[in-house]
Structure 1
Amino acid sequence: MADERARIGMVDDHELTIRGLRDSLADHPDLDFVASAPTVAELFDATTDLDLVILDLRLRDGSSPVANVEAIRARGLDVLVLTSGEDPFLVRSAARAGVLGVVRKSQPIDAVVDAVRSAARGEMVPTIDWAAAIDGDPDLAAVDLSPQHRRLLTLYAAGETATRVASTMGISPETVNDYLGRIRLKYADAGRPAPTKTDLYKRALEDGWLPFPRRRRKS
């Protein structure tokens, strides 16, 4: 990509952050800030002709970082996370979903631009914050769930009954209970037991399968 401009898209719902990055990249002829949007779907409604998507982890629509990363990667695009970094669980989940790196918004602008340039070339952008979020908590061992198990967990942990989950997924209630037993066993084997529905909800939050509840604004 030495003789081409890398086409950059951004998913963020903070206008100040978007303007700041757009203006900063404008000073670099090898980087072309093409489009921004508050959600992944809206970005792709605007364009898919991109080389890299810069993603904020906590969006107002409450979407899961894992789902957002997977949706972007399904388009054959790389992802660089640009976040305030206040939630290590979200950083962990994004890292496991296959992003090229996680950069804090508080970093100097030159460092952010260098990270964007490296990611646009398809290079990993390792940072201390990223490594600490993934490896710093031994009690949060990874649990590998199949797509079917993951979907069931997100439905059930979000509050659906086993009967409703069975209807939504087109499987029997007995299969739902069997899958829940397997999911609980995997978490128990990882040292993260989830015997109750509330525990499963916590695990789904920790691993990024469910979005964290939005913070209420003070009136």
Structure 2
Amino acid sequence: MGGRFSVAIVDDHALIGLAIGPLIEHSDDLVFLGAVRSVTALRQGELHPDLVVLDLMLRDGTTPADNVQVLRDRGAQVLVLTSGEDCYLVREALRTDALGVVRKSAPPAAILAAIQRAARGELFVDAEWAVTVDADPDLESAPLTDRERDVLALYASGIGAKQVATQLGISENTVNDHLKRIKLAYQRLGRPAPTKVELYRRGVEDGFLPVPGRR
């Protein structure tokens, strides 16, 4: 699609598609494929978007975790849309491979920005996201050393292992060893982080990295 990302909405309230669809349609880097009422309907309609904007609470009995898994198995990124009415489900969504959670009540420009970031495969986090993470009693922080935290912070910011090594005054092999230990620590906690995006997510969750917009 000439460098543009395709987006579909899964929400059983038609007004959401009517409200957010035009935002997507008028974005130069996005293509709107339409809105459907369920993940099943998306599959039956043979839609294969790059990103799915998924309602947190669908009334078909499905769970956020199941829906995100199905969509990720189909190769789509996921951004969860919520009214914030159920903190438990929000926390469940944050434990999935979704790239973030955005409120339906957010300003249109903020919703569009979140969609654009997620479509590019970037994690979307904000201060409200962090508050939900802070309130999660089941979130056990990884026991990282100070050096491992430094490596995580630099690497997850987007630079490569070689640049991390230069900034910290250590070898690239040492950086890679630290990264292996960091990933192993999260794997043991049941919070795997095999990719840079997921490492960034874990760093924010554990307070090793700052949340944009949060003081």
TM-score relative to the length of structure 2:
0.62
CA distance in 2, matches of 1:89, 1:129: 14
Alpha-carbon contact 1:35-1:43 (below 8 Å) kept: no
Alpha-carbon contact 1:35-1:47 (below 8 Å) kept: no
**Counterpart mapping for 1:124-163 below 5 A:** 124-138=123-137, 140-141=138-139
CA distance in 2, matches of 1:43, 1:109: 24
Alpha-carbon contact 2:48-2:76 (below 8 Å) kept: no
Match of 2:122 in 1: 123
Alpha-carbon contact 2:79-2:118 (below 8 Å) kept: yes
Match of 1:76 in 2: 75
Which segments of 5 or more consecutive residues in structure 2 lack a partner in the other structure? 141-188, 190-215
Match of 2:156 in 1: none
Which segments of 5 or more consecutive residues in structure 1 lack a partner in the other structure? 143-189, 191-219
Alpha-carbon contact 2:21-2:34 (below 8 Å) kept: no
RMSD (Å) for aligned C-alpha atoms = 1.8
SS of the counterpart of 2:69? helix
Alpha-carbon contact 1:91-1:134 (below 8 Å) kept: no
Larger RCO (CA within 8 A; separation ≥ 6)? 1
The amino acid of 2:45's aligned partner reads A
Q: When the two structures are aligned, how many residues end up with a matched partner?
A: 141
Once the two structures are superposed, what CA deviation does each residue of 1:175-200 show, in whole Å capped at 9, x if it has no partner? Answer: xxxxxxxxxxxxxxx9xxxxxxxxxx
SS of the counterpart of 2:74? coil
- Give how far 1:48 is off: 3.5
> Are 2:95 and 1:96 equivalent residues in the alignment?
yes
Percent pairwise identity: 44
CA distance in 2, matches of 1:47, 1:10: 14
Match of 1:47 in 2: 46
Give runs of ≥4 in structure 1 deviating > 2 Å: none
Once the two structures are superposed, what CA deviation does each residue of 1:41-65 show, in whole Å capped at 9, x if it has no partner? Answer: 1112113421101100101112111
Match of 2:66 in 1: 67
> Are 2:115 and 1:107 equivalent residues in the alignment?
no
Larger Rg: 1
SS of the counterpart of 1:97? coil
SS of the counterpart of 2:59? coil
Alpha-carbon contact 1:11-1:54 (below 8 Å) kept: yes
- Give how far 1:105 is off: 0.5
